[in-house]
Amino acid sequence: MWIALAAIPVLFASLFLLQVRIDARTRTEAQAQQELMLRSPAAIDKMSLGYNSLLADVYWTRAVQYYGSRVATPHATFGLLWPLLDITTTLDPKLLPAYHFGAIFLSQTGVGGAGRPDLAVKLVKRGIAANPKRWGLYADLGFLYYWHFQDYKDAAAAYLAGSKIAHGPSWMSIMAARMDQKGGSIETSRMIWTQIYDSNKNPTIRKMALDTLKGLKAEQDEAGIDDLVTQYRQRFGRPPSSTAELRDTGLLRGIPVDPDRYPYVLEPDGKAALDPHSPVKIPRVPKTPPPLPKN
């Protein structure tokens, strides 16, 4: 018992050192990794002495702070994000926000994410194993399979499994059917991101969803304009120089604008594009999806 009591201040002192070291932004990622003293979830679990939930909250807070300190930094790396989430969910497998938001932090690419959807899938699967009656985790898994891996079969299976849980929303079964019918369509993507926007209160996630919805709407608009350009080319033997020409020939009723009210432009070959000054960004799905994580 005396040994256990003596271990408590050592444990919390180590956590304090961890906090200080993660906050040292002037140090390189490699140095930070070397200095992370407590990396083993199993070891921390044994040292927690029954304070698992408390320590899980501490590590989850550190994961959020670690992510937040780098999210807006170009070319930032997130090498400590998975270890922090790993420790958090080992200490408290019922801490649902760690799975939901942690998966978002891990999966996003470019500025704002770690670019590791494989680890996000691993995290959410762990969450499902520990919380099999939480339909929201199945929705998270279905989204990851769909958006990051273009794996419509597994996405449909995840949504279908979630729909069978008591009190699971009806849209889960609709989404499962949609995956089987039109997995890669823009309409399906808009359905998913609309659901994410409507079901989340977190302002960061809602903004991300709204920005993606704007980009998907722009992508859909561009495809429609391209069809009209093809009709114009067939009629006149050349591409139009602007959307105004499409309007003047009756193919358009007016000048089309993107979701932020910037007029679409036509490239020299007649292909529709966003105005260079428009803040709207069309989400680019990788031509070659990353490899699916091993179970």
> What does the pLDDT look like over 58-71, one tens digit per residue?
889 999 999 988 88
Tell me: pLDDT of 34 over 50: no
pLDDT for the residue 228: 96
pLDDT in tens, 145-191: 999 999 999 999 999 999 999 888 888 998 898 888 877 788 888 98
CA dist., res. 114 & res. 70, Å (int): 10
Query: Which one-letter amino acid corresponds to residue 263?
Result: P
Length of the chain: 295
pLDDT for the residue 11: 59
Q: DSSP labels for the chain? A: -HHHHHHHHHHHHHHHHHHHHHH-TTS-HHHHHHH-----HHHHHHHTTT-HHHHHHHHHHHHHHHHHTTTTSTT---TTHHHHHHHHHHH-TT-HHHHHHHHHHHH--STTS---HHHHHHHHHHHHHH-TT-HHHHHHHHHHHHHHH--HHHHHHHHHHHHTSTT--THHHHHHHHHHHHTT-HHHHHHHHHHHHHH---HHHHHHHHHHHHHHHHHHHHHHHHHHHHHHHHHHSS--SSHHHHHHTTS-SS--B-TTSPBPEE-TTS-EE--TT---------SSPPPPPP-
Q: Answer for the pair 89, 123: CB distance below 8 angstroms, yes or no.
A: yes
pLDDT for the residue 43: 63
Lowest mean pLDDT, pick from 138-142, 186-190, 252-256: 186-190
125 class by beta-carbon count within 10 Å (0-12 exposed, 13-18 middle, 19+ buried):
middle
User: Averaged over 223-241, what is the pLDDT?
Assistant: 95
Confidence of residue 289 (pLDDT cuts 50, 70, 90): low
Q: Answer for the pair 134, 127: CB distance below 8 angstroms, yes or no.
A: yes
Q: What percent of the chain has pLDDT over 90?
A: 54
Tell me: pLDDT of 131 over 80: yes
CA dist., res. 71 & res. 181, Å (int): 36
pLDDT for the residue 35: 40
Lowest mean pLDDT, pick from 3-7, 142-146, 164-168, 239-243: 3-7
Short-list 273, 278, 245, 243, CA closest to 259: 278
pLDDT for the residue 47: 61
**CA distances, 46 to each of 4, 43, 56, 87, 180 (Å):** 11, 5, 13, 12, 45
Higher-pLDDT residue of 131, 201: 131
pTM of structure: 0.72
Q: Which residues contact 70 (CB under 8 A, 6 or more apart)?
A: 76, 77, 78
Q: Enter the tokens of residue 221.
A: 């608009």
pLDDT for the residue 224: 96
